Amino acid sequence: MMKEKTGNLYESIAVVSRRANQISVNIKEELHKRLDEFNVIGDNLEEVNENKEQIEVSRIYERMANPSLQATQEFFNDEIYYRK
């Protein structure tokens, strides 16, 4: 099925892998931006609550689908633009 989209299996895999890398970088940047909000220096009770929020944010990103799976789904749904 992948070969039918581009005419070449290896080209299809290259398209999906490049998109997966893009998704991975975007997710990583977004996660770091959200976690940077929790970077506060100091020891107090508020830090414990912030750590709980930080853990929840991390869990949200852990539950997300693998970037490779997301890219493959986009490829089969014709949501990826590619050219030779």
Give residue-wise pLDDT tens across range 7-65.
Answer: 999 999 999 999 999 999 999 999 888 878 776 655 555 555 557 777 888 888 888 88
Q: Does 83 reside within a domain?
A: no
Q: pTM score > 0.85 for this model? A: no
Q: Does 20 reside within a domain?
A: yes
Q: Which domain holds residue 12?
A: 2-76
Residue with tokens 């970088």: 25
Distance between CA 40 and CA 49 in Å, rounded? Answer: 12
Q: Does 32 reside within a domain?
A: yes
Q: Does 42 reside within a domain?
A: yes
Q: Does 46 reside within a domain?
A: yes
How many domains does the structure of the chain reveal?
1
Residue with tokens 């508020």: 46
Contact present, 12 and 6 (Cβ < 8 Å): yes
